[in-house]
């Protein structure tokens, strides 16, 4: 016990390699992770955290992040300041700060793996949803894009509009609770999308979050789905549904994007259906542009005036926040994704298109009456 007490910080630091080892082992047993963790342990801890922290109207995750940033920044400045004033203690001051930081990081990382991170190693959502992934031709991808444009144009006629762009029905604060309806409907065919969780929460510092290029964040330590409320209305429903997918244990970004599309499509309200369709259209066209830019140019002329204004509004919104902070956030997110077995990094978002095409084939080419 004496040895443990003296070396407890070292033991805490060792939680970092211990967590990495745990994920490496989990990667070899997706079926076991799915049954034991994703459908067993995680729903219990995830729903419990969500319900407990759901009583607060604000995001505890956001507050925690701000406090930690301020604390560690202040402590680092203090250590550097002490090292400058007391050069003899320079190594001790900086080394002490680094040891404390690594010990804290070890605890946070290991808890992260236990309360949510292992979801990266569950079965692919394509298997859960019984979708067959097969290579698609450029022609088929173009057909998917054209169908999404047709659907978006039809839905755009029925949504509300303000200042020329799409406006969500009702008030923005009601969106998180309304989003649940899409999951209730989707869970009728995919039970893993069901369950009771607290509604998503708008980030108070949404304007600041925009400078990082982030539309939403799931905070696993509190079970909270958070979204950037400063974004154009057309992005809000699909972003909320995306973070709700993380809340239900679907960690991979490409899968969460597809689930956002699915639950928006199954939602009874037109504004959710339209938002999900716009999300899918953006990713499908982006994938097509990499192989056949000419086909994209032929397709985008089919945009209705309203759809075109909404897409331009999205571009104009994010262009205001481009800069070094956004690029740094992109690089950090890219590194995070790769560290969790998403080897394509941020580019893995494009794999959502494989699920879209599989869905398109399975559901009779999205026939609408």
- Distance between CA atoms of residues 90 and 95, nearest Å: 8
Closest by CA to 131, choosing from 308, 342, 363, 289, is: 363
Pairing status of strand 201-202 against strand 224-227: parallel
pTM for this entry: 0.89
- Distance between CA atoms of residues 160 and 268, nearest Å: 15
**pLDDT score of 80:** 74
Closest by CA to 183, choosing from 146, 225, 134, 124, is: 225
Q: What percent of the chain clears pLDDT 70, i.e. is strictly above it?
A: 86
CA-angle at 209, arms to 207 and 212, nearest 5°:
125
> Which is more confident, 31 or 322?
31
**pLDDT score of 35:** 96
> Which is more confident, 182 or 94?
182
- Distance between CA atoms of residues 304 and 274, nearest Å: 13
Residue with tokens 């309806």: 181
Q: Do 235 and 216 touch, CB atoms closer than 8 A?
A: no
**pLDDT score of 323:** 56
Q: Model confidence at 234, in pLDDT bands (50, 70, 90)?
A: very high
> Which is more confident, 349 or 94?
94
Per-chain mean pLDDT for the chain: 87
Residue with tokens 């805490």: 12
349-362, pLDDT tens digit by residue? 367 899 999 999 88
Residue with tokens 């979708």: 131
Residue 64, CB-side half-sphere exposure with 13 Å CA sphere = 11
Q: Do 204 and 61 touch, CB atoms closer than 8 A?
A: no
**pLDDT score of 343:** 56
246-282, pLDDT tens digit by residue? 999 999 999 999 999 999 999 999 999 999 999 999 9
**Residue 202, beta-bridge partner list:** 227
pLDDT at 76 over 50: yes
Buried b (16+ CB within 10 A) or exposed e, 254-282: bbbbbbbbbbbbbbebbbbbbbbbbbbbb
**pLDDT score of 4:** 53
pLDDT at 239 over 80: yes
291-346, pLDDT tens digit by residue? 888 899 999 999 999 999 999 999 999 988 875 544 544 444 455 455 555 555 43
Q: Model confidence at 115, in pLDDT bands (50, 70, 90)?
A: very high
């Amino acid at each position: 016990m004496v040895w443990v007490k003296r070396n407890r910080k070292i033991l805490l630091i060792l939680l970092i390699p211990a967590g990495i080892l745990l994920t490496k082992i989990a990667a070899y047993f997706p079926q076991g992770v799915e049954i034991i963790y994703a459908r067993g342990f995680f729903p219990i801890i995830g729903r419990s955290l969500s319900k407990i922290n759901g009583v607060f109207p604000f995001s505890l995750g956001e507050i925690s992040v701000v406090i930690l940033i301020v604390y560690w920044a202040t402590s680092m400045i203090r250590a550097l300041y002490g090292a400058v004033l007391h050069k003899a203690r320079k190594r001790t001051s900086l080394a002490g700060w680094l040891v404390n930081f690594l010990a804290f990081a070890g605890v946070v990382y290991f808890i992260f793996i236990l309360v949510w991170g292992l979801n990266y190693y569950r079965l692919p959502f394509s298997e859960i949803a019984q979708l067959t992934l097969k290579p698609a031709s450029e022609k088929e991808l173009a057909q998917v894009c054209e169908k999404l444009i047709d659907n978006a144009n039809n839905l755009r006629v029925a949504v509300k509009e303000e200042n020329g762009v799409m406006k969500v029905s009702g008030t923005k604060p009601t969106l998180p609770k309304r989003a649940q309806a899409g999951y209730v409907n989707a869970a009728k065919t995919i039970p893993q999308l069901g369950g009771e969780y607290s509604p998503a929460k708008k980030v108070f510092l949404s304007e600041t979050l925009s400078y990082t290029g982030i539309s939403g964040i799931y905070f696993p330590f509190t079970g909270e789905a958070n979204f950037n409320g400063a974004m154009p209305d057309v992005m809000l429903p699909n972003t909320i549904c995306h973070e709700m997918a993380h809340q239900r244990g679907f960690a991979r970004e490409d899968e969460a994007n597809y689930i956002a599309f699915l639950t928006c499509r199954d939602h009874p309200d037109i504004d959710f259906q339209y938002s999900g369709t716009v999300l899918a259209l953006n990713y499908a066209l982006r994938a097509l542009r990499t192989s056949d830019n000419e086909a994209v140019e032929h397709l985008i002329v089919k945009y209705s005036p309203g759809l075109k204004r909404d897409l331009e509004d999205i571009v104009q919104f994010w262009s205001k926040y481009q800069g070094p902070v956004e690029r740094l956030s992109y690089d950090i997110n890219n590194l995070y994704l790769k560290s969790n077995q998403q080897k394509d990094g941020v580019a893995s978002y494009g794999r959502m298109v494989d699920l879209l095409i599989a869905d398109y084939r399975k559901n009779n080419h999205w026939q609408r009456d």
